[in-house]
Amino acid sequence: MPPATSAPVIRRTRDEAQSLSLRPAASSNARAVWREAFRAVRAETERRASPLSAEDQVIQSMPDASPTKWHRAHTTWFFEQFLLVPHLRGYRVFDARFAFLFNSYYVAAGPRHARPMRGNITRPDCAAIAAFRAHVDAAVERLLAEAADAELAEIVRVLEIGLHHEQQHQELLLTDILHAFAQNPIAPAYDAGWRAPAISSSSTSSDAFAPLPTGIHSVGFDGDGYCFDNEGPAHQIYLQPARIGRGLVTNGQWLEFMAEGGYAMPSLWLSDGWALREAEGLDAPGYWRRQDGARDGAWLTLTLAGLLPVDPDAPVTHVSYYEADAFARWAGKHLPTEAEWEVAARANLLDDAFGVVWQWTRSAYLPYPGYRAAEGALGEYNGKFMINQMVLRGSSHVTPAGHARASYRNFFHPPARWQFSGLRLVEYV
């Protein structure tokens, strides 16, 4: 295999991942490796969608979520729009109407259907979307096989963005369908065999804090392999003395917060958060519900396996930034900044940094010093969202492999809690 200048990690099955390291060079081996990477990512999307019926795939339970069918079509449109149309001579667009239906927010790529209305698109049906995916898949493989050597580097650049883009939608596919199932009184299961990952023992200890290395540190992506543009440029920051929680905040700790009236104390809450709590009657994390007939106040939570008892030793999940911030105040501590989190992760100070839950930080999602969005439609990928959102770090158990690195910046609005979002704490010396 050629030397690595780019290393996407492709999730092949639920429990197996393979790292693909290659140079986007004009060799048959490189073409074959990229073809296999493309096949693996596309197959994983279909594997995640396979337990869902046609009815499941069309539902949109809120404006911030999208139907499974839309995710499958949008990621396909991405390859058609940005890879095939510009680079494959004689390519025939599958259906010219799909560009309007399945564009998301790329203004430079043309008009688009309103996001809150995606669940109203019953046609094209799932069979048509499957045919669309097959049409585009065959064309991408033909492009990889037939492209001139001089064109291959640019083709691979766009292809790699598209692969990582589709992997992001693989995570959204599961978070969005879980939100939809949470609106159903019978609490359907996506996968009855699903189980949350085990966490480290220190994650159940409320006093396991590690000193952060103080002083000047470099944060942001600065190395080989793939990253999104919002992960750079790498730059220096200063950390003052502090200690960061090795473990994640658990359901047991959250139950203590609830028992002491944490949801009823306005002094713990930011003003916008308190207004949301009152408007929506929040009194527990997302997807928690009282067990029918239980006198002891037992809680259940809706998971991908359906309703399960709340495990006090498991990390709390599906909490908003407002809830995380209120909990930190109640605990007499703080949420870490994203720089504190990244430095701690690089120093191996964090248990369960990746693969369990995304972790809220108290950092606003803003551009790093010197950041400039790329020109063209693909420049709209991240930069234009750098306002009014908060950064989460790490990854969750539904995050595809390849999106777990110390510099990765996830971002959501403060009220969001349909994602697999939790927290850890920091205290200042």
**Tens digit of each residue's pLDDT (9 = 90 or more) over 99-134:** 999 999 888 889 999 999 999 999 999 999 999 999
Same domain, 122 and 66: yes
**Residue 395 covered by a domain:** yes
Same domain, 265 and 151: no
Which residue range(s) make up the domain with 356?
Answer: 201-428
**Residue 362 covered by a domain:** yes
Mean pLDDT throughout 274-290? 97
pLDDT value at 11 more than 60: no
Same domain, 166 and 219: no
Give yes or no for a contact between 46 and 38, defined as CB atoms under 8 angstroms apart. no
Same domain, 149 and 293: no
Helix count and strand count (H, E) for the chain: 11, 14
Same domain, 209 and 239: yes
Residue type, 283: D
Same domain, 139 and 98: yes
**Residue 189 covered by a domain:** no
**Residue 188 covered by a domain:** no
Q: Band of the pLDDT at 205, cuts 50, 70, 90?
A: low
Give yes or no for a contact between 37 and 8, defined as CB atoms under 8 angstroms apart. yes
Total domain count, the chain: 2
Element (H, E) at 302: strand 299-303
User: Which range has the worst mean pLDDT, 8-12, 22-26, 202-206?
Assistant: 8-12
| Secondary structure of 265-277 in HEC code, one letter for each residue | CHHHCCHHHHHHH
Mean pLDDT throughout 396-420? 95
pLDDT value at 15 more than 50: no
Same domain, 105 and 175: yes
Global pTM reads 0.91
Same domain, 135 and 73: yes
Same domain, 343 and 226: yes
What would the pLDDT profile of 48-94 be if each residue is shown by its tens digit?
999 999 999 999 999 999 999 999 999 999 999 999 999 999 999 99
Structural tokens at position 119: 């669940």
Give yes or no for a contact between 389 and 365, defined as CB atoms under 8 angstroms apart. yes
What would the pLDDT profile of 140-151 be if each residue is shown by its tens digit?
999 999 999 999
Same domain, 257 and 385: yes
Q: Distance between CA 263 and CA 284 in Å, rounded?
A: 8
Same domain, 259 and 290: yes
Mean pLDDT throughout 234-250? 97
Peptide bond into 124 cis (omega under 30): yes
